Amino acid sequence: MQKLLRFGETEIDGGRDILRAAEVTRDPLLRRLYLVHAVDELRHGQLFRRRAAAMLHALPARPEIELDVSFSDHGLDDLQVDQENDDTLLAFLHVAEKAAASRFTLYRDALQSDPATRSVFEDILQDEMFHMNYTLTQLIRVSPERHRGRIWRARFSRLWKAYLRGASALAGAIGGVILTIQYFAILPLFAFLAKRAERRESPGWTTISPQRNRSLSTQY
Ligand SMILES: [Fe+2]
Ligand SMILES: [Fe+2]
């Protein structure tokens, strides 16, 4: 269910980016296609959310249930529409839609036991196939010579960003492990030293030598 909510959020965010692409493109055909595409993505977002809501209602009432709504694994989250040209954007979209189509195919096939959710994926999958195909057709139209290079670049940048995400998650995990080791290995050492120092101190007030007992007329 959280996965559905996360998918819903991704679709709606993607829809917003594509709406922005429709605003900035100078190509009237692309503008029309981007508008259709954006409306599709918004609809996908609503379908996912509705299905998640229906599943939530079907659950036995558990007021303590908490949803993790920290959405982060967006397929389109690195997209900065204003910095893309028509061809780089189409290549990026084509690669992203292809990935979405294959991911949703897996989900559809895995959800044999849940026909309602399965039909949501089935419905969305039709659109994703259309998005995957029109972005390729249009990329070939606007950049007949360089479309293959654009697609490879988009694939590479997607892999690179996935690698960076993985690497930063790994770095976070390693940081956590090191902090835990420090907590259990170094803190007890300091605690032991502090206790030993405490034992050496004589209890109560201690008299000090008269030289150190002058009035505080200087800083030292
Ligand atoms: Fe979608
Ligand atoms: Fe799509």
CA of 6 to the centre of ligand 1 (A): 12
The answer as to whether 209 is a domain residue is: no
CA of 132 to the centre of ligand 2 (A): 7
The answer as to whether 206 is a domain residue is: no
The answer as to whether 123 is a domain residue is: yes
The total domain count for the chain is: 1
pLDDT tens digit string along 11-52?
Answer: 999 999 999 999 999 999 999 999 999 999 999 999 999 999
For 71-126, the DSSP string reads: ----SSTT--GGG--HHHHHHHHHHHHHHHHHHHHHHHHH-TT-HHHHHHHHHHHH
The answer as to whether 138 is a domain residue is: yes
In the chain, where does DSSP find H-type helix? Answer: 2-24, 28-58, 86-110, 115-142, 147-200
pTM of this structure: 0.72
In this prediction, residue 63 carries a pLDDT of 57
Report the distance separating Cα 50 and Cα 160, nearest Å: 33
Residue 31, classified by CB atoms within 10 Å of its CB into exposed (0-12), middle (13-18) or buried (19+), is middle
Predicted confidence (pLDDT) at residue 90 exceeds the cutoff of 60: yes
Nearest 5°: the CA angle 20, 44, 84 is 25
In this prediction, residue 220 carries a pLDDT of 62
CA of 33 to the centre of ligand 2 (A): 12
Q: Could you list the residue range(s) of the whole structural domain that residue 35 is in?
A: 2-177
Cα 10 to Cα 4, 87, 103, 127: the distances in Å are 10, 23, 13, 15
| CATH code for the domain of 48 | 1.20.1260.10
Nearest ligand, measured from the Cα of 98: 2
The answer as to whether 74 is a domain residue is: yes
CB 111 within 8 A of CB 118: yes
Confidence grade of residue 74 (pLDDT, cut at 50, 70, 90): very low
Report the distance separating Cα 185 and Cα 190, nearest Å: 9
According to DSSP, residue 215 is labeled -
Ion ligand 2 contact residues with beta carbon within 5 A: 97, 128, 131
CA of 113 to the centre of ligand 1 (A): 23
Count, residues in the chain? 220
pLDDT tens digit string along 114-141?
Answer: 999 999 999 999 999 999 999 999 999 9
Report the distance separating Cα 47 and Cα 8, nearest Å: 7
